[in-house]
Amino acid sequence: MPRISKSAAARADLIAHYVYLAEEATETLADRFLANAETSFATLAEQPKIGAPLKLSNPALSELRKWRVKDFDRFLIVYKPRQDDILIVRVVHTSQDWRRLLGLVE
């Protein structure tokens, strides 16, 4: 099974979402979010092509895919399957302008 790598932006996303959930809901919910994100990452490592490919005009970004965090359907994992690992690029909330965050929109 490929290993999982997280970009600095993805790590920052996870921290920001955790803090938001802990402050606005409960720490228990924030803990469950992180646990489910890791479970979702493991699923992607086992089945790298499970996520929907992003239809992008930039060929350099053609391998990016998206998948949802288990039980947190409004959180998207943007990732790139690579030969030796799965790169988690970002973890974004669907209310965010995630295409702009990824630099997919000018």
d(CA 10, CA 12): 5
31 in any annotated domain: yes
Tell me the CATH number at 48.
3.30.2310.20
**Whether pTM exceeds 0.85:** yes
18 in any annotated domain: yes
Interior/surface letters 70-84, b for 16+ CB within 10 angstroms, e for the rest: bebeebbbbbbbeee
d(CA 50, CA 95): 23
Res. 96: pLDDT tops 90: no
DSSP state of 30: H
87 in any annotated domain: yes
Q: Give the structural domain span for 25.
A: 3-101
44 in any annotated domain: yes
106 in any annotated domain: no
46 in any annotated domain: yes
| Average pLDDT of the residues in 64-87 | 95
For residue 106, the model assigns a pLDDT of 42
Count of structural domains within the chain: 1
